[in-house]
Structure 1
């Protein structure tokens, strides 16, 4: 691994992190709109990005030229408390960011692979590669829906795949999931990993110290030499 791939940005508190990361994302998106007339942003769910979304929603950029998608999603009803898209709708697609275009995963079909294929079709018209992708990380070392020993983990981490969306089932995942592939994420012009708390910092350090992506899939993001990864952390 080339050490210059990893760029760490540590903040004394989570509010400062949210403000700084939101400013960085906004600058990337505004620059993309100025250069190419449109921009794309992939965000993650969970509790960690909630404050980030609130700050970002208040930021003044050309949101009507921005398309937002999720890095991954649970296969569940869109209004479920478990749906990442509900978090995005309620916290990010507000205020100034209400003008953005949001494209959700398809989750209505019975088979996970059907949802993945339909979602890939929905995403095909997006501005690729992504301008910004913001990843999270679980205490088990998963990122996106790359779960330890997931049934499609090898496929999702295969940099030669032409798929942008794959289904994923794993013991630690709860519901079946849909996820962007590693190849799609590493194409992003700006890639961030947003983690908070000492426990996740310890997990990150452990992931950085080892190379087995099967047991800690976030290592596939950290141990590659294609795309710089910006780590944003606060206690």
Structure 2
């Protein structure tokens, strides 16, 4: 089998240069959607990598009150928990000019993500589709969203028609709720935001092969349905 095609690649020597350009581009796309369709939808990832991007976006003046924001995935913990992606979004993105954006979290009052999937899916039902922008991250094991290679639910995540699913990675803490592959690809634009030499090596490995169960990010990189731009900085 031939290797998958390379997506659009944007490389930067420094992360602050990447952040400045990507923040401006995303906010312009969101504003264009508001201007053309009256609203916009944005899905973001957690972790430490996107925090400077969130902070930069929060200072850009667009019609944030017309932007619906949610998460690509979330650990099944409360919003005050140290591992909560919602907490990061509230502390770093829903600030400054973006304070008025409409944020929807994925964790419900249910004890498990399996029990909460239906309610979380209902919460997202009003989001404009296709989603305008989906920002993905990637782990050192090639996972994206909460679609892990060590996860028994990986095949379900690749094949389900549902928007969300519960996942339980064996090599990462907490049960999780995640957008399915179909939901991720139901977007006008996907960005993969990564940094460092190690992540570039994982990306190169993903682009050199075809087995998405080995490196789940391949399922996003290999498709031709939705434009995907990779933003990578060396430092």
Normalised TM-score (structure 1): 0.96
1:86 is aligned to 2:69:
no
Displacement after TM superposition at 1:224 (Å): 1.4
8 Å contact from structure 2 (residues 4, 207) kept in 1: no
Please, which moves more after superposition, 110-119 or 63-72? 110-119
Residue 126 (structure 2) aligns with: 125
- RMSD value, Cα: 1.2
Residue 27 (structure 2) aligns with: 26
8 Å contact from structure 1 (residues 136, 144) kept in 2: yes
Displacement after TM superposition at 1:2 (Å): 6.5
Please, which moves more after superposition, 99-108 or 21-30? 99-108
1:14 is aligned to 2:8:
no
Residue 225 (structure 1) aligns with: 224
What are the superposed Cα offsets for residues 111-161 of structure 1, whole Å, 9 maximum, x if unpaired? 321111110011111112210000000001000001013121111111xx3
Alignment of 1:166-205 (within 5 A): 166-205=165-204
Alignment of 1:32-181 (within 5 A): 32-158=33-159, 161-181=160-180
Displacement after TM superposition at 1:90 (Å): 0.1
Aligned equivalents of 1:15, 1:187: Cα separation in 2: 29
Displacement after TM superposition at 1:27 (Å): 0.9
Pair 226,2 (structure 1): closer, same or farther in 2 beyond 3 Å: farther
8 Å contact from structure 1 (residues 132, 188) kept in 2: yes
Please, which moves more after superposition, 109-118 or 127-136? 109-118
8 Å contact from structure 1 (residues 28, 190) kept in 2: no
Displacement after TM superposition at 1:183 (Å): 0.6
Q: Show structure 1 runs of 4+ deviating over 6 A.
A: none
Aligned equivalents of 2:52, 2:112: Cα separation in 1: 34
Displacement after TM superposition at 1:9 (Å): 0.5
What are the superposed Cα offsets for residues 83-132 of structure 1, whole Å, 9 maximum, x if unpaired? 00000000000000001000001242123211111100111111122100
Displacement after TM superposition at 1:178 (Å): 0.4
Pair 2,139 (structure 1): closer, same or farther in 2 beyond 3 Å: closer
Displacement after TM superposition at 1:216 (Å): 0.8
Aligned equivalents of 1:207, 1:183: Cα separation in 2: 19
Consecutive unaligned residues in structure 2, runs of 5 or more: none
